[in-house]
């Protein structure tokens, strides 16, 4: 196993076209579940110059104006420009209501163990969860810093500290590792866009981003840029406007950004735009929950949990653990422990995290918030799969 290396992860602001599509898809999920927690909903989006396409399949008692939901997200993301804005963009929809039998009115909170066992997954796939000791949130450092920078850029724009910023932007952080531990910041890359009519010189943009974005983020970080860190701010020059008028977006195209920044493996399935009774969404959450508790219990310094499901089963057909030679006990023993203390059945996951009711509890805005800055490792949201309540049990074994 390589011990010394450089690894980089990227994030994107809320106005990036892919992230805009993710947010619209999850805002639609929020709206359905807020009105009817038993809703089954799949929503996907594609966006390009002045056009948004929404495809949704649902079975629900809710009544949702998906175009209105999309326009609210577009406005919230900051698109109020002539080329693309919430008022004038064309929205095309393909909506299909599914038969009621595809959405059984089951309340998993009141189901017996036998009844939960009879609820089978309807998707197949392998899903990964990961945790490590690189940060307080037990996430890899590159993706954590990339998200912080993206979030700061959005905050600076919303507060109009740099009034020329447009919504679209990307970040990337490269970390030099020694003995698999973060040693120094190797590189920082930030690309921001500007609104029309306010072109700034590249030198001013670089100075502004250094002062109001990079410095505040790193002032309390244990690993900071040094005199050898390579900093790239709009290296290709002035970028005007950006967004859907420049490059298209699609739901589910930023899976690495949504999870571990490619530092760990991740599923090919999109996370956004799906109700919580989809194992290809919640399997990722419960795998992270298990991995994080293993690391929090000091059973390993790194842990990747792999869950494989097949259609027609309730339990995963495979539960594997990889601790990258950092485990205090064998990987097989850790796999046995999490299999004993975590319930990986679909209905049990939904019940444990109360996933159907979270939009209503969060005033109709829960899953949309996950669609930018990551579905895991969040410290700005109280996510049930980020809790370490199982760590004392595992530590005592």
pLDDT at 104 over 70: no
pLDDT at 103 over 60: no
H helix or E strand, kind and range, residue 369: helix 367-370
Q: Quick check: pTM over 0.85? A: yes
Nearest to 259 by CA among 146, 157, 162: 146
DSSP 196: T
Give residue 236's pLDDT: 84
With vertex at residue 292, the alpha carbon angle to CA 179 and CA 274, rounded to the nearest 5 degrees, is 120
Nearest to 148 by CA among 397, 372, 389: 372
Give me the sheet containing 51-59, strands edge to edge.
90-97, 51-59, 40-48, 249-250
User: 5-11+140-247 in CATH: which number?
Assistant: 3.30.300.10
| pLDDT band, residue 1 (cuts 50/70/90) | low
- The DSSP-derived string for 39-57 is -EEEEEEEEETTEEEEEEE
CATH 3.30.300.10 in the chain: give the residue spans. 5-11+140-247, 17-102, 125-134+252-396
Give residue 139's pLDDT: 98
Report whether 306 contacts 290 (CB < 8 A): no
Alpha-carbon span 69 to 356, nearest angstrom: 19
| pLDDT band, residue 106 (cuts 50/70/90) | low
Name the CATH code of domain 17-102 (choices 3.40.50.300, 3.30.300.10, 3.20.20.70, 3.40.47.10): 3.30.300.10
Q: How would you class 136 by CB atoms within 10 Å of its CB: exposed for 0-12, middle for 13-18, buried for 19 or more?
A: exposed
DSSP 358: H
Report whether 240 contacts 199 (CB < 8 A): yes
Sign (positive or negative) of CA dihedral 239, 242, 246, 248: positive
User: 125-134+252-396 in CATH: which number?
Assistant: 3.30.300.10
Alpha-carbon span 267 to 275, nearest angstrom: 17
| pLDDT band, residue 101 (cuts 50/70/90) | low
């Amino acid at each position: 196993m390589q011990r010394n290396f450089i690894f980089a992860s990227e994030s994107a602001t809320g106005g990036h076209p892919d992230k805009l599509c993710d947010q619209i898809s999850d805002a639609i999920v929020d709206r359905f579940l807020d009105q009817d927690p038993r809703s089954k909903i799949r929503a996907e989006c594609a966006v390009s110059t002045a056009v948004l396409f929404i495809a949704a399949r649902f079975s629900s008692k809710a009544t949702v104006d998906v175009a209105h939901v999309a326009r609210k997200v577009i406005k919230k993301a900051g698109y109020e420009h002539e080329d693309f804005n919430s008022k004038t963009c064309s929205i095309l929809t393909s909506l299909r209501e599914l038969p009621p039998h595809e959405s059984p009115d089951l309340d998993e909170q009141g189901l017996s163990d036998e009844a939960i066992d009879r609820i089978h997954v309807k998707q197949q796939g392998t899903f990964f969860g990961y945790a490590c000791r690189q940060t307080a949130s037990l996430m890899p450092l590159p993706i954590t810093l990339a998200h912080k920078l993206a979030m700061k850029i959005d905050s600076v724009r919303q507060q109009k500290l740099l009034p020329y910023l447009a919504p679209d932007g990307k970040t990337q952080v490269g970390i030099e590792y020694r003995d698999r531990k973060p040693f120094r910041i190797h590189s920082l890359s930030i690309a921001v866009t500007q609104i029309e009519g306010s072109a700034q010189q590249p030198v001013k943009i670089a100075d502004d981003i250094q002062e109001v974005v990079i410095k505040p983020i790193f002032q309390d970080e244990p690993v900071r840029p040094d005199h050898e860190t390579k900093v790239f701010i709009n290296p290709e020059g002035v970028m005007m406007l950006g967004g859907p008028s420049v490059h298209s977006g699609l739901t589910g195209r930023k899976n690495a950004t949504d999870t571990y920044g490619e530092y760990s493996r991740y599923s090919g399935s999109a996370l956004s735009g799906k109700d919580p009774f989809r194992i290809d969404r919640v399997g990722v959450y419960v795998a992270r929950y298990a991995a994080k508790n293993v690391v929090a219990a000091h059973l390993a310094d790194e842990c990747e949990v792999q869950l494989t499901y097949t259609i027609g089963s309730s339990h995963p057909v495979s539960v594997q653990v990889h601790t990258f030679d950092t485990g205090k006990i064998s990987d097989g023993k850790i796999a046995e422990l999490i299999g004993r203390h975590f319930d990986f059945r679909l209905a049990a996951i939904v019940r444990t995290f109360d996933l159907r009711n979270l939009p209503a509890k969060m005033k109709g805005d829960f899953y949309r918030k996950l669609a930018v800055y990551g579905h895991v490792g969040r410290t700005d949201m109280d996510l049930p799969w980020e809790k370490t309540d199982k760590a004392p049990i595992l530590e005592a074994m």
